[in-house]
Structure 1
Amino acid sequence: MNTMTMAEARAHDRKRWLWPMGFGIIMIVAALALTGWITGQTWLIFAGPIVVYGVVPVLDLLIGKDSTNPPERVLDILEDDPFYRYSTYIYVVVQLILFVAVCAIVGTQDLTFWQWLGFVSTIGMLSGVSINTAHELGHKNTAVESWLAKIALAPVAYGHFYTEHNRGHHKNVATPHDPASARMGEPFWRFLVRTAGGSARSALDIEKRRMARKNRSFWSVHNEVLQSWGMTIVLWGALMFAFGIELLPFLVLQAIIGASLLEAVNYAEHYGLLRKKLESGRYERCQPEHSWNNDHIVTNIMLFHLQRHSDHHAHPTRRYQSLRHFDEAPQLPTGYAGMIVLAYFPPLWYRVMDKRVVAHYDGDLRRANLQPEKRERLLAKYPPPHAPADASA
């Protein structure tokens, strides 16, 4: 490889120097929250939800999209460029430092209720965003990145995501068997309960079978779910030992906020999409049309190109800088940050998204992933082509 080739590859990544803003954004959020605490401007301590729910969606709309793809000839070069890996490594270190620092404040300082709530909501948002960095790292085939992924998941107590996402979700995505694929007509709050419990059960079952294949006990130190949960126990235990047992409610609530933020993204990624079941009983291979995509720049920077989700499912180990836009993939109307806000209000979500699912399947919802008890109602509301409309609808 020569320097001109590397330079050419880098020139094709228009967002190259923006990627460090992944950890830059969380530093800005933390700085705002700390400033609010020091100056008594309590509203600033809520910088996490303000930025995630307000600033980022607005910036997405103002700044717009980038749908350009790097040429095939430079993909391998981009993959080998350590600059991109270091951005994710630094993110994990920065997030862990900020997490411990906020825990120290909460555990040792006399905070008002609103200050406490501000810190828990902000660190919960940052913990949720850090799950995405764990997602990026967890797909890579290096020991360093695998362990960094588990470390990033430790604060939010969602270590089973590492196992279930890689070995469960990617196998069952866009099928009724996947707890992380939302069904059309399924409200987010119901999905949240289903996916949280289903993902944990799936991860435990996956590791139970993997340990059995290796003739090891489920309680083996090699069980990656137990490894990840153990890291949370050690981290939380150390923090409570250092800063007081009173820290426990803070730790639990920020973890719930962080996990729900991740699951709101999961809700948007495959809502209503369904892979066709073949005569063999298996499902067709996952294609670009089985993931909702979006190219709004700001959320893609914050989430390391997660919104180019179709290419991620086609090439799970491909690094974020090399992920491509597909014209044939269904597109969300705005970035994930804006879609999360919509997800919290099911009637608004249905108004925006259901017509897009219908259009994606050319009006035939029999091809979509529908909430079972709402199936007949949805088919009556959106009759398949050449089917008579329900006179009572």
Structure 2
Amino acid sequence: MRTPVDAPSVLAGWRDSKKYLWPLALLVPVLPFLAYALWVAGAGWAAWWLTPAVVFGLIPLIDVLLGDDGRNPPDDIARQLQEVRYYRWITFLFLPVQYAALVLGAWVWTRGGLGVGGAAGLVATIGIVNGLAINTAHELGHKRESVERWLSKIALAPTAYGHFYVEHNRGHHVRVATPEDPASARLGESFYAFWPRTVWGSLTSAWHLEIGRLRLRRRSPWTLRNNLLNAWLLTAVLFAGLIATFGWQLVPFLLLQALLGFSLLEVVNYLEHYGLRRQRNAAGRYEKVDPRHSWNSDRVVTNVFLFQLQRHSDHHANPLRRYQTLRSFDMSPQLPGGYASMVLLALATPLWYRVMDPKVLAHYDGNPALANLKPGAEARLRRRYGRPTAAR
């Protein structure tokens, strides 16, 4: 860990330099309202591409200019920060702005006059907002307080991805960086091959996990105590309410924005553990999760917008740790950029392989047998790097 924790001067003088930047996480769900104002003012269909331009253009640029912040709160300060409700309220406030943006998008969609370019931009705008809301749901869903867990499900409802609440906490965190985890991408696996594997694998895993939990309690799976069913019910109620208000013509909009929203989550899943693998010990069990098993980034801007999701190693080691106290570790493998730029790279498969495959191999001292290797990827790696590729 980078920062010493035992010097009184450090404890006395340390402050959260991002304290007043965290509300910027609410900027993205506000952008659709600015886009609407530009559209009304006559900017045309291009106004609805404002949110994608900011998220995948402006933010990566500022990320590069401002660079990294690898400071960690000392342990005593971190324990105090955990209890400061200011940070909690920022995550709470994301939800009403998220839902307001969804209602705005529904109203604009049914009003008409968008054209093909405007309709595509509107879907992209609301899909990005609800995709980022899954990150807020991720932060809330790990907490013990029941109100935060329910807010997590509410944040997931617009993308119809309520099963994430179960699979991420009880599936992904158990199996992370292993071939058995549908949310851990393999070395040599493109995002487009990963997407169907993780979407279907996560859904079926969540169902089996929840059925197993209920059976242990001798309860039927067909109950509202089933966390998948009650989460999906929230989606059904939300979509039914919107369709009743705005009409059946809203259905394509709801489906497309949900598809884009949960795909944004899955591309982030793809890059968080790409090629990384926990090894088996002498007893045949996987080693404990540690900072080597997640890709990290200390880029300031994207960490603010994502509630420090990019400090992913500490999150896996300490899932209950709140975002403001997550730490950076020297032993964590580092991404060459923040998530916003890495998402774009992941969509360009040849460039992704060119940048990330050497980093995975370097992480394992050139031995791909230690990586989470996609079956059948040996030949391509052998041609490009000329190294042994037998997976064990």
Equivalences for 1:16-55 in 2 at 5 Å? 16-27=19-30, 29-41=31-43, 42-55=45-58
Partner Cα separation in structure 2 for residue 377 and residue 54 of structure 1: 32
Alignment match, 1:91: 94
Partner Cα separation in structure 2 for residue 25 and residue 11 of structure 1: 29
Alignment match, 2:3: none
State yes or no: 1:278 paired with 2:281.
Answer: yes
Equivalences for 1:326-365 in 2 at 5 Å? 326-365=329-368
Deviations 1:199-248 (A, max 9, x none): 11111111111111111111111000111111101100100000001100
Contact 1:33 1:119 in 2 (8 A): no
Task: Give the letter for the 1:359 counterpart.
Answer: A
Which structure 1 residue ranges, 5 or more long, are not aligned? Answer: 389-393
Partner Cα separation in structure 1 for residue 15 and residue 173 of structure 2: 29
Three-state SS of the structure 2 residue aligned to 1:155 is: helix
Contact 2:214 2:226 in 1 (8 A): yes
Equivalences for 1:249-264 in 2 at 5 Å? 249-264=252-267
Contact 1:32 1:45 in 2 (8 A): no
Task: Give the letter for the 1:36 counterpart.
Answer: L
- Per-residue deviation, 1:109: 4.0
Alignment match, 1:391: none
Deviations 1:253-293 (A, max 9, x none): 00111111111111110000000012323200001000000
Equivalences for 1:178-327 in 2 at 5 Å? 178-327=181-330
* Aligned with residue 58 of structure 1, among 50, 58, 61: 61
Contact 1:273 1:290 in 2 (8 A): yes
- Per-residue deviation, 1:108: 3.4
Contact 1:365 1:379 in 2 (8 A): no
- Per-residue deviation, 1:380: 5.7
Equivalences for 1:123-162 in 2 at 5 Å? 123-162=126-165
Alignment match, 2:117: 114
Name the % identity.
50
- Per-residue deviation, 1:76: 0.9
Distance 1:58 1:163, change over 3 A: same
Partner Cα separation in structure 2 for residue 9 and residue 92 of structure 1: 35
Instruction: Let me know the Cα RMSD of the aligned residues.
Output: 1.9
Distance 1:268 1:10, change over 3 A: farther
- Per-residue deviation, 1:13: 1.1
Contact 2:82 2:322 in 1 (8 A): yes
Three-state SS of the structure 2 residue aligned to 1:13 is: coil
* Aligned with residue 366 of structure 1, among 359, 364, 369: 369
- Per-residue deviation, 1:110: 4.0
Partner Cα separation in structure 2 for residue 19 and residue 169 of structure 1: 27
Partner Cα separation in structure 1 for residue 302 and residue 243 of structure 2: 34
Task: Give the letter for the 1:156 counterpart.
Answer: T
Alignment match, 2:5: none
TM-score, L = length of structure 1? 0.93
Task: Give the letter for the 2:237 counterpart.
Answer: V
Task: Give the letter for the 1:40 counterpart.
Answer: G
Distance 1:9 1:71, change over 3 A: same
Contact 1:130 1:152 in 2 (8 A): yes
Three-state SS of the structure 2 residue aligned to 1:46 is: helix
Which structure 2 residue ranges, 5 or more long, are not aligned? Answer: 1-7
Task: Give the letter for the 2:40 counterpart.
Answer: I
Alignment match, 2:4: none
Three-state SS of the structure 1 residue aligned to 2:90 is: helix
- Per-residue deviation, 1:383: 5.0
Alignment match, 2:169: 166
Partner Cα separation in structure 1 for residue 48 and residue 268 of structure 2: 24
Three-state SS of the structure 2 residue aligned to 1:105 is: helix
Partner Cα separation in structure 2 for residue 47 and residue 13 of structure 1: 31
- Per-residue deviation, 1:9: 8.0
Partner Cα separation in structure 2 for residue 68 and residue 11 of structure 1: 10
